[in-house]
């Protein structure tokens, strides 16, 4: 009995040491990376960006929300941004909303253009992300409706709006 307790404690100490080694430094520089296949879309080409985003919406609309999901069986908001930028715009972003929010240049809501990331505070420590389309509309994975298009002027999104970021082209 004493030996198995000692082994459990040793195992926990070892596991704790490995977990500490695998943590990401909090202040690490976060960046987007272009896919080297030539598939990258110029984010300054608003027409092409919108075309690709609407095509993504048609393929993914109504896909249900699933925390941690990355497939048509279920996807969360940051996962949808990750998949969309990778498959439609040729850019690899971080997987989490926290790190996506660190990318790019902060821009005023009045200057939004297709492809900009829009962020929301939906709870005390909960963040949400979408991709701006046009005319106050953004594409995202909603917990209630799945992949959908919503409006920044809708009461819920208007009150939860946090910031917008533009990625480098």
Quick: pLDDT tens for 111-149. 999 999 999 999 988 999 999 999 999 999 999 999 999
Residue 125 has a pLDDT of: 87
Is the Cβ–Cβ distance between 81 and 91 less than 8 Å?
Answer: no
- Tally Cβ neighbours within 10 Å of residue 9: 10
135 given a catalytic annotation: no
Catalytic: which of 8, 21, 77, 135?
Answer: 77
Burial code of 51-80, b = ≥16 C-beta within 10 A, e = fewer? ebbbebbeebeebebbeebeeeebbbbbbb
The Cα 60–Cα 149 span in angstroms is 11
26 given a catalytic annotation: no
Confidence of residue 41 (pLDDT cuts 50, 70, 90): confident
The Cα 116–Cα 167 span in angstroms is 7
128 given a catalytic annotation: yes
Residue 15 has a pLDDT of: 34
Helix (H, G, I), strand (E, B) or coil at 70: strand
List the one residue out of 99, 106, 131, 105 whose CA is nearest residue 116. Answer: 131
Is the Cβ–Cβ distance between 97 and 119 less than 8 Å?
Answer: yes
Residue 146 backbone zone (phi > 0: left; psi -120 to 50: alpha; other: beta): left
- Tally Cβ neighbours within 10 Å of residue 142: 18
The 3 state secondary structure assigned to 123-155 is: CCCCEEEEEEEECCEEEEEECCCEEEEEECCCH
Residue 111 has a pLDDT of: 97
Return the CATH fold of 30-166. Answer: endopeptidase fold (from Nostoc punctiforme) (3.90.1720)
For residue range 9-34, list pLDDT tens digits in order: 334 333 333 322 222 334 455 565 55
């Amino acid at each position: 009995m004493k030996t198995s307790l000692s082994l459990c404690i040793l195992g926990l100490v070892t596991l704790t040491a490995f977990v500490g080694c695998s943590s990401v430094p909090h202040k690490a520089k976060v960046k987007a990376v272009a896919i080297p296949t030539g598939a990258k879309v110029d984010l300054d080409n608003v027409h092409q960006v919108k075309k690709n985003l609407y095509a993504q919406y048609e393929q993914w609309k109504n896909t249900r929300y699933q925390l941690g999901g990355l497939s048509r069986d279920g996807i969360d908001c940051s996962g949808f941004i990750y998949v969309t930028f990778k498959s439609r715009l040729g850019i690899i972003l971080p997987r989490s909303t926290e790190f996506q929010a660190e990318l790019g240049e902060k821009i005023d809501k009045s200057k939004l253009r297709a492809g900009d990331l829009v962020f929301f505070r939906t709870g005390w420590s909960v963040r949400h992300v979408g991709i701006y389309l046009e005319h106050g509309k953004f594409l995202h994975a909603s917990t209630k409706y799945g992949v959908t298009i919503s409006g920044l002027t809708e009461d819920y999104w208007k009150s939860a709006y946090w910031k917008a970021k533009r990625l480098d082209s």
